[in-house]
Amino acid sequence: MAIKAAFMVPHPPMIVPAVGKGSEEQVIKTSTAYDEVARMIADIKPDTIIISSPHAPMYGDYMNMSSGKGEKGSLADFRAPGVKFDETYDSELVAKIETLSSLNGLEAGTLGRQGTGLDHGTMVPLYFIEKYYKDFKLVRIGLSGLALTKHYELGTLIAKACDEIGRNAVYVASGDLSHKLQPYGPYGFAPEGPEYDKRIMDIAERAAFDEMFDFDETFCEKAAECGHRSFVMMAGALDGKSVEAKVYSHEDVTGVGYGVASFVVKGDDERRHFLKTYLDEKVNALSATKDKADSYVKLAYESVECFLKTGRMLKIKDVSTELLTEMMNTKAGAFVSIHEHGRLRGCIGTILPVTDCLAEEIIRNAVSASTEDPRFNPIEPSEIPYLEINVDVLSTPEPIDSEAELDPKKYGVIVTNGRRRGLLLPDLDGVDTVERQISISKQKAGIAPDEPVELQRFTVTRHV
C-alpha cells in the first residue's frame, strides 16, 4: 500500500456552477478534464486523499498539516453557501507524517493554525471528486516559504508514511499556474507567465520532475504562479516510482493558467530519486565554485564552517596568510549574504567598519549571518555543503539630494527617518527600479511609504 496515483489540478471557484453561474463555460476543457481525473480516483477507491493547497494555512518556515477529527467548509465566500463540505481527517496518517518529519529534521507538522475551515484550494478538487467518490479520509497540507527541496522531501515522507501504515492513497496537488497570462486578466500580463505555463506543462507531460527544481524564486514571482510548491511536494510523493503521465488540458482564457494532469504509479524506478540526484549535483557544483572563490569569500566560508562545527569564532591566527594580506590593511563595512538552494538563508552586515580590519569584519558578519539573522532559524552544520556565500565590501555612504542620483544596479541605498534606518544592497534580483529599491528599504526600516526620508548611496565591491 502506498501512493497509487497523483493529480495536478487547478482550483478556480468559478468552475463550480453554483459560483460561476454560467461563466464556468469559459473553461469547459478544464472541467471536463477534472471530471475525468475524478472518475479515475473513484476507480482507485483510495482510503485516503492527500491534498496540498496554496490556500491552506501557510508559514514562511513551516509546512502545516491540518489536525483533529475533521473540518467543514463551504463556498460561501464565493456566493455559493449551499456548496458545503464536511470532511474526516486521517489522523493516524497525519501523526505518522509528523513523526517522520520530526525524525528527519523537517519543518512540518500540526503546529500553527487549526480549525480555520477548509480553503477553496481544497474544496474545489473535493467538489469534483465527491461527485463520484466519497468513501475516503482526507489529509490537508499547506505550503511554506521553505526551499523547493523541503517540499519535495515532505512528499517523500508522505509516501513513506502511507507505505508504513498500509494506506491506499492518492495525492492531489492543488494549484493554479501563472496569474499573468493575458493583458485583460485580473493580474495583467508578464512574459514570464506563458513561459512558466509552457515549462510546467511540458514537465507534466514527460513526468520530468527533476526539472521542477530549476525554477528560481525571482522567475516564479514574476510569473505569479500559485501551485509550484504543491506540484513539487506531489513529485516527492512519487520519488523513486515509474509513472504513466497524461496531460488532459491547459487553459489560459481567464488570464490564469489551469492545468490538469495525472501520474499513475507503475512500479519502482531507482533512476527517479530526483532529490538525491539534485543534491549530489548541487554539492559538486558548489564545491567547485568554492574552490574558485576569491580570498574574501573563502574567509567567509571558513568563518561559517568553524563556528557551526566548533561553536567558536575563527581567529586571525588560524587563517592562512595569503587570504589576509589585503584585508588586514583595510577597514570597511561589509555584508555577508548566504543562500541555500537559491533562497536567501541569512544576510548581516555593517554600513561602516566596527572592527580593526576588514578580515575581522567579514569573520564577525559571516557568523552573524549564519546564526543571528532574525528572519531565519540558525543554519545547521548539515546545511554547510549547500551554502552559497558572497561578500559585499561597502564604500563610505554619501548623502544625496534626490532619487535621480540613484541607480539600483550601481548604487545601494540607505533611507533614514529619525532613528529608523534601512539599507538595500545594489544589483539584487527583482529590484529593477529606484522606486522598488526605496520601497523595500523603507519596509526593512519600518518606515511608512508616505514618510519622508533622507537618502544616502554607496557602491559595493562584490566578491563571489
For 223-269, the DSSP string reads HTBSSHHHHHHHHHHTTTEEEEEEEEEEE-TTSS-EEEEEEEEEEE-
Give the pLDDT score at 425. Answer: 93
Q: Which of 216, 258, 212 is nearest to 235 (CA)?
A: 212
Contact 46, 63 (CB under 8 A): no
Q: What is the count of structural domains for the chain?
A: 2
| pLDDT tens digit sequence for 131-182 | 999 999 999 999 999 999 999 999 999 999 999 999 999 999 999 999 999 9
In a domain? residue 284: no
Contact 431, 437 (CB under 8 A): yes
Q: How far apart are CA 130 and CA 70, in angstroms?
A: 16
Give the pLDDT score at 79. Answer: 96
Fill in the DSSP letter of residue 114: -
CATH code: domain of residue 54: 3.40.830.10
pLDDT level of residue 322 (50, 70, 90 thresholds): low
Are residue 294 and residue 264 in the same domain, yes or no?
no
Residue 457 has pLDDT above 70, yes or no: yes
SS (H, E, C) 181-206: ECCCCCCCECCHHHHHHHHHHHHHHH
Boundary residue ending a domain (241, 276, 311):
276
Give the pLDDT score at 1. Answer: 62
Which helix (H) or strand (E) covers residue 125, if one does? helix 120-129
Residue 423 has pLDDT above 80, yes or no: yes
Are residue 338 and residue 266 in the same domain, yes or no?
no
Residue 81 structural domain: 3-276
Which helix (H) or strand (E) covers residue 157, if one does? helix 148-165
Give the pLDDT score at 298. Answer: 93
Are residue 339 and residue 451 in the same domain, yes or no?
yes
Q: How far apart are CA 57 and CA 144, in angstroms?
A: 9
Q: How far apart are CA 345 and CA 81, in angstroms?
A: 43
Are residue 309 and residue 420 in the same domain, yes or no?
yes
Cell of 403: 532619487
Q: How far apart are CA 42 and CA 196, in angstroms?
A: 31
Q: Regarding beta strands 420-424 and 241-251, do their DSSP bridges make them parallel or antiparallel, or are they unpaired?
A: unpaired
Q: How far apart are CA 175 and CA 191, in angstroms?
A: 20
Q: How far apart are CA 243 and CA 6, in angstroms?
A: 9
The Cα diameter of the chain in Å comes to 75
Fill in the DSSP letter of residue 323: G
Q: How far apart are CA 220 and CA 226, in angstroms?
A: 9
pLDDT level of residue 115 (50, 70, 90 thresholds): confident
In a domain? residue 283: no
Distances from the Cα of 280 to the Cα of 132, 137, 153, 242, 268, angstroms: 43, 37, 15, 21, 21
In a domain? residue 180: yes
Give the pLDDT score at 323. Answer: 62
Tally of CB atoms within 10 A around 25? 9
pLDDT level of residue 386 (50, 70, 90 thresholds): very high
In a domain? residue 362: yes
| pLDDT tens digit sequence for 349-362 | 999 999 999 999 99
Fill in the DSSP letter of residue 353: -
In a domain? residue 282: no
Q: How far apart are CA 392 and CA 156, in angstroms?
A: 38
Contacting residues for 34 by C-beta, under 8 A, at least 6 apart? 9, 15, 128, 260
Bridge partners for 388 per DSSP:
339
Are residue 384 and residue 453 in the same domain, yes or no?
yes
Are residue 443 and residue 420 in the same domain, yes or no?
yes
Residue 89 has pLDDT above 90, yes or no: yes
Fill in the DSSP letter of residue 293: -
In a domain? residue 391: yes
